[in-house]
Amino acid sequence: MKRVYVNEKWCLACHLCEYYCAFASTGEKDMARALKNVKIRPRIRVEELGGISFAVSCRHCDDPLCVKGCITGALTRVDGVIMIDSDRCIGCYTCILCCPFGAVSPTEHGAVQKCELCIRTTAGTPQCVQGCPNGTIVFEERGE
């Protein structure tokens, strides 16, 4: 299946992926309107230190520890994409305990959030990829 891959060699630490991610989930048409005076909580996060940087988001593992660990059944794997039902999630953070990539994060609303490959957004394809200026983040199928 197509996944988001990150090649840190080309990461510029511009953090645009985080903003495009945050924007994608708002459903707004204009980023200025959507994110003005908003502290963003992106599902993709850039780690940055001493000239090295890279973005991390859900890897959509074939063998997802978060799904197996989820105590509510809110996390499911649908056609390879790991989805979160925020209505079911009660914010126990067992998935945060389980995820070896640190790719699940808390939100203000209690439920956790994670990358769902923008399946639920109006764009429909990962916006971190669209917004990356340097081809660092790609969405493609690779041999497994």
Q: Which is nearer to another protein, 27 or 106 (CB)?
A: 106
The least distance separating another protein from the CB of residue 119, rounded to whole angstroms, comes to 19
Do 42 and 55 meet the contact criterion of CB atoms below 8 Å apart?
A: no
The least distance separating another protein from the CB of residue 113, rounded to whole angstroms, comes to 12
**Burial class (CB within 10 angstroms; exposed 0-12, middle 13-18, buried 19+) of 140:** exposed
Angle at 116 between CA 111 and CA 117, to 5 degrees: 155
The least distance separating another protein from the CB of residue 141, rounded to whole angstroms, comes to 10
Angle at 61 between CA 58 and CA 66, to 5 degrees: 75
Q: Which of 6, 42, 46, 37 is nearest to 25 (CA)?
A: 42
Residue numbers at the binding site for another protein (CB under 8 A): 3, 5-16, 19-20, 23, 30-32, 35-38, 47-49, 51-52, 54, 56, 59, 61-63, 65-66, 68-69, 71-73, 87-88, 90-102, 104-106, 110, 131, 133-136, 142, 144
Q: Which is nearer to another protein, 88 or 120 (CB)?
A: 88
